Chain A
Amino acid sequence: MIQGSWRIVRLGLKSLMLHKLRSSLTTAGILFGVASVIAMLAVGEGAKIEALERFRDMGVTNLIARSKKPAESLSNSQQSAWMPIGYGLQFEEADLIAASLPDATVIRIREIKKNMQRGENFRSSIVVGTEADFLEVANMRVREGRWLSNVDNERLANVCVLGATLSRLLFPLENPMGQTILVGDDDRYRVVGVLAEQGRTAGAGSTPYDECMFIPINTSNRRFGVILTNRSGGSFSRERVELHEVKVKMPDSTTVPAGAKILRDLVERQHKDKNDVLVTVPLELLKQEEESKRMFNIVLAVIASISLLVGGIGIMNVMLATVTERTREIGIRRALGAKRKHIIQQFLVESGVLSALGGVVGVALGIVLPFLITIWFDQKTIILPHHVGLAFGISAAVGVVFGIYPAWRAANMDPVDALRHE
């Protein structure tokens, strides 16, 4: 049986070798179909993993409420630069959120832009006022020293923890631990810890946490107050902001939707009209991403099906020509004892082999393409073995499916007519 099958496959190869150019051209459709399927799946998979990592950085069990300057206040600010514009989350709200979500970890964040100086080294960056649970919620690690504690907050301690990049900039040569940094004109903070590099592009607004300084939130309130003065270029503005962000970490992803609803309800009560607080739910974004990925997959599947369909029609066309050309051979085989099923088998194997040959080359091309895409377009790609298997399997199946009709025609020829065929 095995030997017989191998014989049929070899026979198929031999017959295809009779028309090398024609066979190669025919397989081109399948070849590019298979290659594009693999490449597109690899790009899709890469994009999916990238998105996944991005949202995982934000924390898939987190909810984020962030204060934002309401749009209409921009025009107001012109006429009354000295009247502070009040907006955003308030301390009381954070307490309410914590009380409404007893199973969640709620942390408050203040972000204040300040000049920082250490000896000759100078930097303007964000001072993040926050609390002990921040580290866990933001999923960060301490590289050296320690993180801010509850005691620091209670005592309004003048201590700070540095992001990895900021630490490098302010202390290019020394060990920062235990050293003091001048913030603004006259505040000094002692460094108690340095964070491990996080490598994300966003954190405190658009400033990565790696570039931030972290101090106890109570210290931030006491030192900087809630009226913030911004000087940028010649313009000047004052804002009243209590909290810039509240992060909520839900116990697990199943509780996220309910938590998100509670948080949104609370926020809407205060901020619906002013539109000065934005709630972000990374899990929802992830789901949206997956949804759009699904659309992308459908489009991809349609393109792949079309190219394979075209490839299949090419194969059918060639197989019909082959059957006509080899009518005499079919007659001979029938005279020598071949049943219809043998003829069907022979031509199905031949079209399957033809298609699978295209599939093999297509797989090779499909594995090379994603590497080129990664190099040229800086797009992450991931080739999954089962995608390759799937693409190859489809190519062989296309050959067999589109070979059915030609094979059926071959098998149903009248042996006498077939033998008479010139």
Chain B
Amino acid sequence: MTEREIIAEFVDVHRHYTMGDNIVRALNGVSMQVARGDYLTIMGRSGSGKSTMLNLLGCLDRPTSGEYRVGNRDVSRLSDDALSDVRGREIGFIFQSFNLIPQLTVLENLEVPLFYQNRVGAESRKKAEYLADRVGLGQRLEHKPLELSGGQQQRVAIARALMNDPLFLLADEATGNLDSNTEAEILDLFDDLRSDGVTIVMVTHNPAVAERADRTLWLKDGEVEKLIENTRQTATVAAGDAAGEQA
């Protein structure tokens, strides 16, 4: 575990919100690391700082103090444009409410991340077809999101998150809007991705989801309460690791 490359790292990260005279310490000195191939879940009570942490991990927000490194680069003080670049190149987002763009087809939705890097063309189309196939939606490229079921929409969203070959996936309650059967299918898909070496960081309320991960980080009042290694998954971690190095 220790030899694996660190691809995301918090060093004493604070995120404080000023509300009039009050200061809300949404994150209050969090340090943690994400290694390549990790499957990490973040848990904690409502208001413990999970969303704040995910926004920072996703470069949608900047820490009040502390350092956030993506790859080997400190991104905690970057400009808005530079953060957009980091999001576009290094991060894949998956949201609870899928967040597909309704007026675009599945194919066009998949191409959005590459569009902002001027990489739309024959190649992006091929990649979109491959990934749609990978998530089991190869025949739906010309459909509009609202013509798909929730589970199918989330599959599209997962494919979209993979379009830019991100360093890691960030998922916020990715199965929160799905029924339990569909949830299981999506979690299976995450397991597949993980065994292909994809790094996943996921916020969840569901302990059953957390059980599938390698580790669970518990937040409490903006601080790390505990970090639990999920021993039951160790064998799979090794396997995923090997696959990750091949990729």
Contact = CB atoms under 8 A, between A and B. Distances in A.
Contacts of A17: 103
Contact of B116 (A339, A415, A419): A339
Interface string A1-24: 001100100010011011000000
A390 B117 CA distance: 36
Contact of B88 (A329, A336, A419): A336
Contacts of A108: none
Given A337-B87, A337-B113, A328 B81 contact: no
Interface string B21-65: 000000000000000000000000000000000010010110000
Interface in A153-212: none
B89 interface: yes
B18 interface: no
Interface string B91-118: 0010100010111100000001101111
Contact of A338 (B89, B93, B116, B118): B116
B80 A340 contact: yes
Contacts of A336: 87-88, 93, 112-113, 116, 160
Nearest to A412: B80
Interface string A71-111: 00000000000000000000000000000000000000000
Contacts of A333: 101, 112, 116
Nearest to A15: B103
B113 to A, nearest CB: 5
Nearest to A338: B116
B164 interface: yes
B46 to A, nearest CB: 15
A183 B175 CA distance: 111
Interface string A365-397: 000000000000000000000000000000000
A332 interface: yes
Nearest to B114: A337
Interface size class of A (residues with CB under 8 A): 20 to 34
A374 to B, nearest CB: 44
Contact of B164 (A7, A337, A340): A337
Q: Please indicate which of the listed interface residues B58, B84, B87, B103 has the most CB atoms of chain A within 10 Å of its own CB.
A: B84
Contacts of B81: 339-341
A416 interface: yes
Interface in A296-345: 328-329, 331-342
B85 interface: yes
Q: Among the interface residues A3, A341, A342, A415, which one has the most CB atoms of the partner chain B within 10 A?
A: A415
A342 B114 CA distance: 13
B159 to A, nearest CB: 13
B116 A342 contact: yes
A419 to B, nearest CB: 7
B89 A419 contact: no
A323 to B, nearest CB: 15
Chain A facing B: main interface SS: helix
Contact of A416 (B55, B101, B117): B55
A415 B85 CA distance: 14
B118 A337 contact: no
Contacts of A331: 99
Interface residues on B, range: 20 to 34
A334 B55 CA distance: 12
Give the residue among B85, B101, B121, B164 with the most A Cβ atoms within 10 A.
Answer: B101
Contacts of A334: 60, 84, 87
B242 interface: no
B120 interface: yes
Nearest to A418: B60
B88 A14 contact: no
A419 B117 contact: no
A337 B60 contact: no
B84 A332 contact: no
A419 B112 contact: no
B25 to A, nearest CB: 17
Contact of B84 (A15, A329, A337): A337
B239 to A, nearest CB: 31
Interface centre among A17, A336, A340 (most CB of B within 10 A): A336
Contacts of B84: 334, 337-340
A18 B115 contact: no
Contact of B115 (A7, A328, A415, A416): A7
A419 B95 contact: yes
A7 B107 CA distance: 13
Nearest to A328: B99
Given A337-B164, A338-B84, A340-B80, A332 B101 contact: yes
Contacts of B85: 337, 339
B101 A329 contact: yes
Interface string A257-298: 000000000000000000000000000000000000000000
A14 B112 CA distance: 15
Contacts of A341: 81
Contacts of B80: 339-340
B166 to A, nearest CB: 10
B58 A335 contact: yes
A18 B104 CA distance: 11
B48 to A, nearest CB: 17
A-B residue pairs, 6 tightest by C-beta: A337-B88, A337-B116, A339-B84, A336-B113, A415-B60, A14-B103
Given A337-B117, A342-B116, A416-B61, 5 more contacts: A7-B120, A333-B112, A336-B116, A339-B84, A340-B84
28 contacts: A3-B120, A4-B115, A4-B120, A331-B99, A332-B95, A332-B99, A332-B101, A332-B112, A333-B116, A334-B84, A334-B87, A335-B60, A335-B93, A335-B99, A336-B116, A337-B89, A337-B117, A337-B164, A338-B84, A338-B88, A339-B85, A340-B80, A341-B81, A342-B116, A416-B55, A416-B61, A419-B95, A419-B99
